[in-house]
Structure 1
Amino acid sequence: MSTTRPVVSVVVAAYNGEAHVGETIAAILGQTRAPDEVVVVDDGSTDGTPDVLASFGDAIQVFHQHNSGAAGAYAQAYARARGDWVARCDADDVWLPEKLELQLEALAVRPETDVVVTGATVFGRGAERPFSALPPADGLDDPLLFARHVYRANPICSSTALIRASLLKDLPEPTPRLPCEDYELWLHLLRAGARFHWDPEALVRYRQHSSNVTNNRVAMERSALAMHRAFADLPQDRALVRRTCARDLATIGRLLADDGDDAQARAAFAGSLRARPTAFALAWALLLSLPRGLRRRAVGAALALVRGERGRAEAAT
């Protein structure tokens, strides 16, 4: 491979994506700076995804495997990619035409960069909105500061990432079938010392739909908690680790309470209180100790009190 011009491999993991993968691939092939290869791993699709991929002919390389989840599909794609740089794209997202060109321009200015990530726009369900809300790019030049932002919660749209390929070869094996496999990747890269460049310009459209993995909130929150425990060394801030894990557990508890799983919800709130006591977790732990009927009345009374206080404050103004 030539060293005078960056060689870019685009990798796509596809599973039952016939509704959207054609638009995704067309946007990749339509870049103002064309990729040098497009590697697609069909992760055991049972719908028409293989036919859609076949329609692109020799413009893309397609590899089929038994279903192993996104982590396994991307690991296969990384192993097949031959470029100096690897650009990820999920099979339902859409790149803007100048995405690759602008990222490579950023690399030319900052050759020490290992990973370029950008903003993204969420679309498909409800009003369009930004994917995440990281501070301005000039506030994240410090690698430790960036690591702390990423540790708190995953702010990166995976389809924006352009990664130095050599780093991917030395990372530990991904956790099988982890719902937040991309988050684990960023944390592994940060632990390995990778330097990120964050461009807030939205260069990717992130599609939300009923089949998104992120729709399973409890599984996602539990996976995030597992990552925050596994990478507790990364932010070099014990207080931040405690706050983050306590927040994760409180969120899990709230979701489980909504699902009617009182026993697991109580356990989650108890864990949150052990990590870092908060009024929110304590209130929910106490509520969950009440019989359901009494709990509903207590919640109703609390909401009525809040509405009353809000109404009096508005009247006073």
Structure 2
Amino acid sequence: MKISAVIPAYNSAKFIKAAAASIEAQTEPVAEIIIVDDGSTDATEAVVRSLPGNIVYYKQANQGPSAARNKGIELASGDWIAFLDADDQWTENKIALQKTILEKYPELVLVAGDMAEIDNDDDIITQSVLAKHGMLEDFRKLAGQAIPNALARLVTKNFIPTGTVLAKRDILIAAGGFNSAIRFGEDLELWAKIATHHPISCLPLCLMLRRQHGNNATSANESMLLDLTKVMESVRAFSQQQLKRQGLDPNQLVSDAFWTLGYWYFVNNQANLARKAFISSLKQQLTSRSVAYLIASTLPPFLVAQLRKFKQIIG
């Protein structure tokens, strides 16, 4: 088993040294660290070239993290790929824990895990993201075994942080790699493709420290929600039958994604765009919720404001 670590980097001079050091510090070493510089304009290249260890450095024009990860997969000599973002860090026994699980359950093609969140001073903000989302106990019960109905669970709530993933290189390639046309949710799309046909696992153990700062904070915004509709349409296209077998309505997934986009437009007073999104939601599935908000989005703003006040009063 030969493992290649892949790090996409863009203007990452401040944190790339710590990321690479966390890989070098693994109790179970990887064979190589591939750093794909995605068009950095800061001192990223100089910092990387000063780093010790078996590092492969490749610089390309800026194309986004998906393209950078795909290039890393292409350049890798390992038969297994582990990912890490340039501003994050692995815990020191990350690879060792995953190798142990793969020895126990050799049918697995992807093993992810829990993560903690840290600030710019490396102080821990969140001990367990799985616990934060009420998922830790479920994965503790599985103890590394293949996740039942993993596809349905993934599209309900993405429980796989990319920086914790260790996956077979040939499976990543067969799945088409990361979709560079999608900026938000491209990881979910890839994990869903893999989970559609292969067993995957998520360890209830902290494998990564994810840095939370202004450059990577993910909050609900238009671009993210637009991409979510694309992801759900894609998932429906390649896994419709598997979703049905796992108890999910593929059309509802897409309908819910458009409703969420419409609601974002609605609360941000963009009525025309809200109506379009609610209509798209209704085209996928007829729901009273989408009908109600479609009607509300046609009302004058002052009346909508009054309805919101009334809703707050009645609780």
Q: Which runs of 5+ in 2 are unaligned?
A: none
Q: Aligned residue for 2:126?
A: 128
Distance verdict in 2 for CA 1:177–1:25, change over 3 Å: farther
Where in structure 1 do 4 or more consecutive aligned residues deviate above 6 Å? none
Q: In 2, distance between residues paired with 1:58 and 1:129?
A: 30
1:203-222 correspondence runs (5 A): 203-212=207-216, 214-215=218-219, 217-222=221-226
Identity percentage over the alignment? 24
Alignment of 1:31-180 (within 5 A): 31-124=26-119, 127-128=125-126, 130-132=128-130, 133=133, 134=135, 135-136=138-139, 138=141, 145-172=149-176, 174-179=178-183, 180=185
Q: 1:136 to 1:239 in 2, by over 3 A?
A: closer
Given the superposition, is the C-alpha separation of residues 127 and 229 from structure 1 closer, same or farther in structure 2, using an over 3 Å criterion?
same
Given that 1:158 and 1:182 are in contact with CA atoms closer than 8 Å, whether structure 2 keeps it comes out as yes
Q: In 2, Cα distance between the equivalents of 1:121 and 1:150?
A: 19
Tell me the matched-pair count: 300
TM-superposition CA deviations, 1:44-92 (whole Å, max 9, x none): 0112222222221454221100011111111110011111211011112
Asked if the contact 1:70–1:177 (Cα under 8 Å) also holds between the matched residues in 2, the reply is: no
State the alpha-carbon separation in 2 of the partners of residues 259 and 50 from structure 1. 41
Q: 1 CA distance for matches of 2:63 and 2:172?
A: 19
Conserved in 2, the CA contact under 8 Å of 1:137 and 1:198? no
Contact 2:262 2:277 in 1 (8 A): yes
CA distance in 2, matches of 1:56, 1:270: 53
Instruction: Give distance in 1, aligned partners of 2:147 and 2:51.
Output: 40
Which residue pairs with 2:310 in the alignment?
A: 301
Distance of 1:177 and 1:16 partners within structure 2: 21
Q: Following superposition of structure 1 onto structure 2, how do residues 197-276 of structure 1 map, counting pairs within 5 Å?
A: 197-212=201-216, 214-215=218-219, 217-232=221-236, 233-234=238-239, 235-237=242-244, 239-276=248-285
Distance 1:257 1:51, change over 3 A: farther
Deviations for 1:22-64, whole angstroms, at most 9, x for unmatched residues? 2211111111112111000000011222222222145422110
TM-score for both structures, normalised by structure 2? 0.86
Residues 251 and 19 of structure 1: CA distance in aligned 2, closer, same or farther (over 3 Å): farther
1:226 Cα deviation after fit: 1.4
Amino acid at match of 2:308: V
Offset of residue 165 of structure 1? 1.7
Q: Which 10-residue stretch deviates more, 35-44 or 221-230?
A: 221-230
- Distance of 2:63 and 2:307 partners within structure 1: 46
The one-letter amino acid of 2:182's match is: L
8 Å contact 1:70–1:181 — kept in the other structure? no
Distance 1:56 1:282 in 2: 58
Normalised to the residue count of structure 1, the TM-score between the two structures is 0.85
Greater shift, 135-144 or 74-83, is seen at: 135-144
Question: C-alpha distance in 1, partners of 2:167/2:45?
Answer: 27
* Alignment gaps of 5+ in structure 1: 1-5, 307-317
